[in-house]
Chains A and B, each alone.
Chain A
Amino acid sequence: MTETAVAPRTTTPARASDRSIAENRLGLRLVAPAVVLMVLVTAYPMIQALYLSLFKYRLTVPDDKSFTGLGNYVTVLSDSLFWKDMLNTVLIMIITVAIELVIGFAFAMVMHRIVFARGLMRTSILIPYGIITVVSAFAWQFTFSLNNGFVNSWFHWLPWIGPDTNWFGDHWHAMFAIMASEIWKTTPFMSLLLLAGLSQVSEDMLEAAKVDGATWTQRLVKVILPNMRAAIMVAVLFRALDAFRIFDNIFIMTKGAQNTESSSFLTYRQVIEQFQLGMGSALSVLLFLSVLLIAYILVKLFRVDLAQARQEA
């Protein structure tokens, strides 16, 4: 709709010297609606969170509101639960993304070479990607459920699984179930992004390497991976930040029991469940800062300026 508002202005023929000014103006006009929307929904809430984080404030005891400065941050940062949940979150992020990267790469290799039933393959790979996380969480909760799940009866021959293994009964089992659900749902996304990268690796270069007598491993390490660096980077960055914000799976599967709580879940509980607006806002701010920090680390790790990379493409 906004495009229609913009259109008439640019229909007048522009002289060469006016062109850059017109272009500048058009550019700003075109991005304005998107930017306004993005900022509207995030900026005000974030400012409010920053403000509230300086108060001791509980929704159900409004008379008790008082200024505490950085008190909430001190409490949060010196609290063992905060760090325990942070550790959980980082563990989930690292483990799931690492496994997804490996499996996703294997999937991408297969999909890249498959010459038949590509439609079937694409369809099935897109289903986990498109399925609702809540549904996926339910499916996996049923899968691992003691009374209604098939995991124990199918895999009880494994030494560490018995017919009575209660998958939601202790920390590591529950974490395993949560991560399984997360990995299942998001590996396809990873593999599609990697497939895209893979299709950019030149077949000629591969052939040339083969003629030169390079082994499969050498080709993988010397030719395929370096040429896919950008694809891998984007895939890892997107997935890592997504995994760091994990919430739905935990909400459905364990509600944070067995110490499976993530940082997002902790923040949700403080703000929404406990009505601790002050403390919860401090957590919100810290959560956002953690996300920024992770993004920064990842970008540094890949030694690529993301925005720059986009520009140069």
Chain B
Amino acid sequence: MKQRMGPGHWVGFLVILVWCLLPVVWIVMVSLKPVAETTTGSPQFFPKTWTIQNYKDIVKNDDFLHALVNSFGIALIATFLAVVFATLAAYAIARLEFRGKRVVLSIALAIAMFPVVSLVGPLFDMWRVLHLFNTWPGLIIPYMSFTLPLAIWTLSAFFREIPWEMEQAAQVDGATSWQAFRKVIVPLAAPGVFTAAILTFFFAWNEFVLAISLTSTTAARTVPAQMSFFVGSDQFNPPYSQLAAAAVVVTVPVVVIVLLFQRKIVAGLTSGAVKG
């Protein structure tokens, strides 16, 4: 159907590629410069001397590796749990009639808009009392809370798109709501669930304010927070190129996920997120 592509589209295509990838290529270039070069100033795009020393230094940096493990663990657990809870809630919102549905939607909306910064202080005190400060659950719980709205939102829109008749048909055939859910909805909803999972993962992988405020050691500190802990040969010059190397390393999982699942992510967003 959409066969015609003018030169405008070609230009647009190139512009999009440059727009999206130039800063990424740039940070890769910075990461390949020796630390000494960035300390004295290295304004050219490509390194004067190419080196992979920064990457070697990073994989020897135990604190950074700990942070990487924390980031993965926390993001994956938060994603899994948030998606489970969101799936249940979204199913109910999309398919069932129950009192308080609008209240749930309003709560979700309010929390989606919540300025995280305004929670940090009280949350810190609360976590100290509950011994959740500087632990994985201490980050997992708020990450779940803050990703639930988006996940519920995406999923309920998604669930609404699934043809009603099929579930009703299944119910007429004697299936219960639950069986209808499992046999009919789950296969149809899988792409939406997947999208919600990826969005949640990106959020947890990305989160910074809570990560710097609710952790104090490498027991729970995630990569975004760990970035401010990089030290160079003197305490006043952050090792810029090493920082860039760390940035590249934490971007790799994002790129991998995107490469593997780009079709699903876009399809999920396209069919689910915005059908107001």
Complex contact flag A–B (Cβ < 8 Å): yes
A residues sitting closer than 8 Å to B (CB atoms) are 1-3, 6-7, 10-11, 13-14, 20, 22-28, 30-31, 33-35, 37-42, 44-46, 48-49, 52, 106-107, 109-115, 117, 119-136, 138-140, 142-143, 145-150, 152-154, 184, 187-188, 192-193, 195-197, 199-200, 203, 229-231, 233-235, 238, 241, 244-245, 247-248, 251, 264-265, 267-268, 271-272, 277, 280-281, 283-285, 287-288, 291-292, 295, 304, 306-307, 309-310, 313
Cβ-defined contact, B96 with A44, below 8 A: no
Cβ-defined contact, A133 with B115, below 8 A: no
Q: Which of A188, A244, A247 contacts B209 (CB 8 A)?
A: A247
Cβ-defined contact, A28 with B43, below 8 A: no
Cβ-defined contact, B250 with A153, below 8 A: no
Measured between beta carbons, the chain B residues less than 8 angstroms from A121 are: 13, 16-17
Among A26, A49, A132: residue with most chain B CB under 10 A: A132
Instruction: Give the dominant DSSP class at A's interface.
Output: helix
Count chain B residues whose beta carbon lies closer than 8 angstroms to a beta carbon of A. 110
Q: Which of B97, B108, B223, B258 contacts A126 (CB 8 A)?
A: B258
Q: Determine the distance from Cα of A133 to Cα of B30 in the docked complex, in whole angstroms.
A: 17
Measured between beta carbons, the chain B residues less than 8 angstroms from A146 are: 43
Q: Determine the distance from Cα of A304 to Cα of B276 in the docked complex, in whole angstroms.
A: 10
Measured between beta carbons, the chain A residues less than 8 angstroms from B258 are: 123, 126-127, 130
Measured between beta carbons, the chain A residues less than 8 angstroms from B251 are: 127, 131-132, 135
Cβ-defined contact, B269 with A196, below 8 A: yes
Q: Report if B172 contacts A (CB, 8 A).
A: no
Q: Report if B190 contacts A (CB, 8 A).
A: no
> When each residue 1-26 of chain B gets 1 if its CB lies under 8 Å from chain A and 0 otherwise, what string results?
11111000100110111011101101
CB distance from B139 to the nearest CB of A (A): 11
Measured between beta carbons, the chain B residues less than 8 angstroms from A304 are: 276
Q: Which of B123, B227, B266 contacts A45 (CB 8 A)?
A: B123
Question: Which residue of B is nearest A200, CB measured?
Answer: B275
Question: Which residue of A is nearest B275, CB measured?
Answer: A313
Q: Report if B229 contacts A (CB, 8 A).
A: no
Q: Report if B189 contacts A (CB, 8 A).
A: no
Q: Report if B111 contacts A (CB, 8 A).
A: yes
